[in-house]
Every structure is written in C-alpha cells, then in structure tokens.
Structure 1
Amino acid sequence: MNKTKNNNRRGFLQKLGLGGLSLATMSMAPIEEQLEYSTQNVNRNSAPSDLKITDMRIAEVSGVMFRTPIVRIYTNQGIVGHGDVRDGAAKEYALFLKSRLLGENPCNVERLFKIISQFGHHGRQGGGVSGVEMALWDIVGKAYGVPVYQLLGGKYRDKVRVYCDTTTSSDPQEYANRMQERVDKGYTALKMDIGINLLRDIPGALINGPNGKFSPYEHEYRQYNLTKHPFTRVQITEKGLEKLCEFLEVMRNQIGYEIPMGTDHWGHFDVNEAIKIARAVEKYNLAYIEDIIPWQYTDQWKEITMSTTTPTQTGEDIYMLYGGFKELIDQRAVDIVHPDPNTAGGILETKRIGDYASHHGIGFMLHHAAGPVSFLGSVHAAAATENFMWLEHHAVDSPKWEDLVTGIDKPIVEDGYVAVPETPGIGVELNEEMVKEFLVEGEKLFAPTEEWNEIRAWDRLWS
C-alpha cells in the first residue's frame, strides 16, 4: 500500500472514530478497512476464541456493606472477571458452579448460563448463578475491549439515576430531616422504610402484633419474621394507620412533592391490610409501595393493584424471567417490577426482564444492596434497558464502600446519578488492600478452591 493511500485510510478511520459512524458506513470500504475498524478495540493480548476458564475463587467481605462473597474467575490469558454473590447469600452457591465452568470459554455467556442456571433459585439462592454471570460478562468485555452495555446492544442513557434508603427514626420529624439530608446530597429519588415496627410502643395501634403483650409467637417454632404475610393475622387499627400517615405527612412537608418517594418494609400482614394501607396513603402520591405482601401471591398482588392508585412494586427475590416475573407481568399484577440483578440471574437476564416488562407497559426498577462491582454491573443492565427508572444505592452511609474498587472516577454516585462506565468489562478492578481490610474473619483473599473442581453429580433434568 503506497504512502498516500495509507494516509487516506488512516484519516478515514480517524473520522469514523470521531464522528461516531457505524459499521454500516463502512460497507463500501475495502475489506481490510472494515476488519480493522470492527476490531479496533479488541484486547490485542487476548484471543477471545481461545479463552478458557482455569479457576474460580471467593473473597467474602463484611462491615463495609452487607456480608457479600466476591467472585473472581481466572482465565488462561490472564484476564480475570469479578461479580458479587448477593448480599447475605452463601459463597457455596457460587463455588458449586465451578466444576461446571472449568475449561469452558467464558465468552459463551448464554450457553454457560443455561448450564448453571438450574442451580439457582429465588432469594439469596440466586446469588451464585448471578454473581458468576456478571463475572463472565466482565471477562468478555475485557477480552473484546468494550464496556458490558455495548455487548447488550448499546445504551439508552449516559447516566443512571439512583434512589437511596434512609435510616429510620421513631420521631417523624427526625426521619424527615434525615431524608432532607439525602436531598441535600443530590439524590433525586428516595425510599423510606415505614411499617408496623414504628407502632410497637403505641397502645391500640395493632391487633395481634408480634411484640404485643399476648406474645403470639411464644409457643411457635416459626418466628414472626419467618411467617408469610397471610398467616400472621396482624391487623392495623385506625389509630395505627393515622400514626403511619403522620410519618408521610411530615416527610412530604419537609421534602415536598417534586421528588419521587417510595416505601418499603411495611410488615407482615394480609391482602386486606395491604389494601387498607395503599388506599390511606394515596394522598401522599408515593412513587410505589414495595413488597407489601410476598411476590408469590400473583392474584393477591393484582387485587391490591386494582384497588388503589398507589403504584405497586415487587421482585427483588425473584429468580429469572420465567421464574415469576412473567406471570406478574402477564397478569399486570403490579405496576413496577423490581429485580435485583444479584438474584434475578445476572446482567442479561435482568435486561430480559426489563424488556418483557416494557413490552407490556410495566415499569422497571433495580434493587441492589451488595458491593460496587455488582452495583456497576447493574448500571450496565440499566443503561441497556429502555424502560429503566431507578437503581437502588444501599451504601450511602458507608464511605469506604466505593474504595473496594479502582479504575473509575469517584465519587461513583454524584448528584444522584452514576456515569455509565466506558472502560472494558464492568469497568472496575478490585482494590485488594481494601478488600483485605473487610474480609470476613477467618477468610483469606481468594484462597484456592480445588475441592470444588470436580463434578460429583449427574446434572441432566430429563431422561
């Protein structure tokens, strides 16, 4: 190739990069230029088709967030990927999957997900599969030199809006002041935990209250917090309802009505009490009322949703689209679905849930309460899903939380938003010294896990 032609080609490629032109624009260019353009960001130290998983280890941390096992997957080319098992879940949920992954190409994310997905379940039991799935996407992005959102089809937004919890107080004004502090920090969406726990010391507020003088659980093997809502027979009196509404009244007087505000953790009671509450709080224009009964009761959720103008929301404990979300969405049983990517099946499955909800006109938010790795993995899922609303940030009061990772501008959350990472993979690496500081007592940093190398079971689900 002569010098003039070489300079022209270089200038053309530079224009493509600066102008944001697509591969479609390259269709008339020579094949060598098309190839160079399409692979310009590929990690030249990586041969993605030859990648193999060689090891998987865990570092379990606590104290800077809820107890969370961090997954690290190793490859034969030195690329490693990270993901979080869901907060409060057992590391064994992920380690059990190791023998199914060794020797496999991590770039085949969907195929590997179908191999391991049978070993996940609802709640924390989805944490192993979800954490591994995120770590696989992290590897793929690093191998190809692109952020994960690009592997999902691109992004709908450059920044992801977050919402945050607020620590509770039995004093309504103090509670409202704490919420105002969140607003002063730049948060533009909030959530407050409000429920019968705030009524325990108020005589006449509850019937059959779990901490009442008749001690209804004294002779039960199962405690109140492990009893599903329909079976507690807790009822809220008019006095109790007025007290809960006082919290909302003071809150709205403090922060106003411009900011979306949702509620969670109301307590364990049946559909009748749920409807009573949802109707009573309509005048406060809540953004949503979350998990007011267990997610499994689709028909009861639909009854609540049809009985009130207060938006309903559930989903943080549901594993996979076809594990529960599909029925809720098909029945229009809730107004908003609320998966946690660390339970739902990881990044791609979370996007699938959001896309399915969008097709049916249902809102889509993300729950999250683990580490910064999966938080940013959730950001990629949010960026790539059209009908996304807000992502939960559960570490507002833990300043060292974001120090667990490097390679990203900080603060990670600024003025209530997270910039979508543009670096390869999820977009961060672990700060191992900081991870060491918060290791669970007795844990070692990514200690060997050879005992999980061999498959000792026949996994096929059919004969």
Structure 2
Amino acid sequence: MKIVSVETFLVPPRWLFCRVATDDGLVGWGEPVVEGRAETVRAAVDELSDLLLGRDPRRVEDLWQVMTKAAFYRGGPVLSSAVAGIDQALWDILGKSLGVPVHQLLGGAVRDEVRVYGWIGGDEPSAVAEAAAAQAEAGLTAVKMNASGRIGRMPNRAEVDEVVSRLAAVREVLGDSRDVAVDFHGRFGVAAARRVIPELAPLHPLFVEEPVLPEYAHRLGDVVSASAVPVACGERLYSRSEFLPVLQAGVAVVQPDLSHAGGISEVRRIASLAETFDALIAPHCPLGPLSLAASLQVAFATPNFLIQEQSIGIHYNAGAEPLDYLADVRPFAFHDGAIRRWDAPGLGVEIDEDAVRKADAVGHRWRPPVWRHPDGSFAEW
C-alpha cells in the first residue's frame, strides 16, 4: 500500500481538513489547522507531502518521526499542527486497513463512553446563567466559560467581583451535581491569577484553565500553590518536552490539542507522561469533526482521561457546525452528557466529501480578534 495523494480543504467556519489517499482505494482524513493561520498550515502540509508520497501509510510511527525530525528546524504550532492532521489521517487508514477502530490499536478501550462539555458565554461572557441552563437542558453535565472578557493584567476589585459573580450565577443554575470549568485564556498576570483563583474556590470549578500565558510556564508553580483549585493548561503546548515543565509545576489537568500537538501519536505519549505525575488529560477541541473524532479515540483508550471539549454550538461556529461535514452524525450523539464508544474502523466517522469540496470552493479567512484596552494598548484575547 502506498500514498498517492495528500489534499487539503479550507472549510468554514475556520478549519482545514486533510485527505490522504492510497493506491488501493483506502482514504484517511485528518484536521491540521492553527486557528487564524489555516493557509499557513495548508502550505506546511503541502511541503510535508514530499515525505509521504510513495510511502506505506501504515508505518505511522516512522512517518511521524520523519515528518517531525527530517529538517534542521523543528516544532512550533504550524509544523506540529500540519503533522497532527496528517497523523490523524494515517491512523485512520491503518484502522481501516485492519478493520478496527483506532482505540483498539492503542491497546483497547478502557471506558464505554466519554464525558463531554460545551461552551457558554463567548469571548465576552454575558448571559452565562441562561446559556448554562440551556446546555443542561440539552443533556450536558458540564460547561466551560471564560473568566472575563478583555481585562488588565492586574484587575481591580470590581473586575474581580464580576469574575466571581459570573461563576456564582452558573453554579446556582447547574447545582452541585454538574460541573463548570473556567478559562482564563492567558488574560491575567501571575499575581492576578494568584489573587482571583482562591476567590473562586468556594464555587468548586472543575478546573481553571490557562491562568497565565504559556511563556510564563516557569511561574505556574506559584499559581498552583496559591489555591486548591485544579489548574489546567496545554492548548498552546505542542510536544512532550513542552508539557514536562508544567507537569513539574503541579498542574492537575493537561489539555493537548489533537490538531496541534502532533496528533494521536504525540498526544498518546503526552497522556502517558501526565499519568506519571498523577495528572489527568482533557483534550482541547474547539474545532471540527475530525479533531473531535481523533480526541475521542484517544479518550476511549486512555486511563487518566477526565473530560472532552467539543465545539457543537460554540460561538466561533458562524455558518457551519462540525456535524455539517459528516455523512452520519450518530457517533456524536450525546447520551446523559457523554458520547458513547463506537467500533467503526479508523477514526470511526464518515466524511461527506461532496460537502467538504463544496465548502473548500468557498473557503474562509478566519482571524482572531485584535483587542485593545481603553488606553489603546494591546489586550490579550
């Protein structure tokens, strides 16, 4: 079996899909993208295809090693994301060639269903109580919200009170039997995070996410020690070596993204590394159906898994949803706040190729917002 083509598709609202075809008719799909830099990742996939054409797609690990190391300059979000999507497609082909799901190739299932959460509140959180109630009504048992909108590195008392009151409103709606996670999105400084997180503790958030920017990972230990609230991070980390120091700092939950952190191959290894630190994994996934399918395959086979992010109905999805590109949406049905394990081969989802090709003809040019503080200076989004 040989790889004969590698295609990419720029699909709304902000995704990039990858199709790897073989000479015997098997096709694998993946999702290589950096949100806001999809065209750049597309070029990287095209460059990496030179290493793939004519090769046996079932040699997944060897191809991963070559794609990540057969260049003097390595790593970074663009290359790691390009590799991630191709890696997903290769695992998809391997599973299909053997007639088994990817989780079977990872050692077999350790659970029958995967708990998922949904987003509420958007980038500038408002009406979060109503949104939380709607998610609970839809059957979810967990939600995530941003702690704040644009905010200074050292928020004042009123701003801190707003963060706490928003979480309190959601907790009142959800009660004690459901969970809410709080995403700081790197908007707070270290000192501010140390001040705010203890005030959230009485409301028992499932975790606080990315309390400081990834470039300040050497200060995460200071944040972790300030409160008993579990700290999570990792959506902007791309390899085992980048996760090691944050695990050493004491984070409770790691959040590698299957479309950013080297795909199924590397995220599986990150999960094993996290297990040695008694940390759990909650893969980041505000993306499309292939990224979610890959995340679920890892979750089905990973003992130290906590919960899965998914983007159905997320505020970024203007004009298209993950289910729009599937020929069969049943695998992603929610059952009591979870997605049940399925045993279809490969990633286990069937892509509507006609819909993907039509979407690519339209394409997109999604960019993240550029925020400013009242004084005109740049604000973290």
- The question of a shared fold, defined as TM-score above 0.5 by the shorter chain, is answered with yes
Deviation at 1:388, TM superposition (A): 0.3
Query: 2:65 — aligned with what?
Result: 114
Deviation at 1:157, TM superposition (A): 0.9
Moved more, 426-435 or 264-273: 264-273
Give the TM-score normalised by structure 2: 0.87
**In the TM superposition, what are the counterparts of 1:218-257 in structure 2 within 5 Å?**
234-257=153-176
1:184 aligns with 2:103: no
Taking the aligned partners of 1:244 and 1:400, their CA distance within structure 2 comes to 29
Higher relative contact order (CA 8 A, sep 6+): 2
| Maintained 8 Å contact 1:368/1:375 | yes
- Pick closer, same or farther for the CA change 1:100–1:294 going to 2, 3 Å: same
**In the TM superposition, what are the counterparts of 1:31-430 in structure 2 within 5 Å?**
51-63=1-13, 67-88=14-35, 89=38, 90-118=41-69, 121-168=75-122, 174-197=127-150, 209=152, 234-265=153-184, 268-322=187-241, 324-329=242-247, 331-396=248-313, 400-407=321-328, 409=330, 411-430=332-351
Query: 2:371 — aligned with what?
Result: none
Deviation at 1:169, TM superposition (A): 8.8
Of residues 359, 362, 372 in structure 2, which corresponds to 1:441?
362
How many residue pairs align between the two structures?
Answer: 353
Deviation at 1:364, TM superposition (A): 1.2
Deviation at 1:408, TM superposition (A): 5.5
Deviation at 1:190, TM superposition (A): 1.1
Deviations 1:299-325 (A, max 9, x none): 310110011111111001111212x11
Taking the aligned partners of 1:112 and 1:417, their CA distance within structure 2 comes to 33
Larger Rg: 1
Segments of 5+ residues of structure 1 without an aligned counterpart are 1-50, 200-208, 210-233, 444-463
| Maintained 8 Å contact 1:351/1:382 | no
Give the TM-score normalised by structure 1: 0.72
Taking the aligned partners of 1:175 and 1:434, their CA distance within structure 2 comes to 33
| Maintained 8 Å contact 1:407/1:427 | no
Deviation at 1:87, TM superposition (A): 4.7
Taking the aligned partners of 2:202 and 2:112, their CA distance within structure 1 comes to 34
| Maintained 8 Å contact 1:288/1:311 | yes
Deviations 1:408-455 (A, max 9, x none): 625533432222230111112221232244326369xxxxxxxxxxxx
Deviation at 1:235, TM superposition (A): 1.4
Deviation at 1:196, TM superposition (A): 4.4
| Maintained 8 Å contact 2:254/2:282 | yes
Deviations 1:231-254 (A, max 9, x none): xxx311122211221111222112
| Maintained 8 Å contact 2:44/2:79 | yes
Segments of 5+ residues of structure 2 without an aligned counterpart are 365-381
| Maintained 8 Å contact 1:123/1:316 | no
- The sequence identity of aligned pairs, in percent, is 28
Deviation at 1:189, TM superposition (A): 1.4
Deviation at 1:192, TM superposition (A): 0.6
| Maintained 8 Å contact 1:141/1:425 | yes
| Maintained 8 Å contact 1:62/1:438 | yes
Deviations 1:108-151 (A, max 9, x none): 10010000013763435421000000000000011111111111
The CA RMSD measured in Å over matched residues stands at 2.1
| Maintained 8 Å contact 1:373/1:405 | no
- Pick closer, same or farther for the CA change 1:442–1:312 going to 2, 3 Å: closer
Taking the aligned partners of 2:67 and 2:292, their CA distance within structure 1 comes to 22
Taking the aligned partners of 1:263 and 1:371, their CA distance within structure 2 comes to 22
Taking the aligned partners of 2:125 and 2:4, their CA distance within structure 1 comes to 54
> Which AA in structure 2 matches 1:382?
A
Query: 2:370 — aligned with what?
Result: none
Deviations 1:182-218 (A, max 9, x none): 0111111110112143x6xxxxxxxxx4xxxxxxxxx
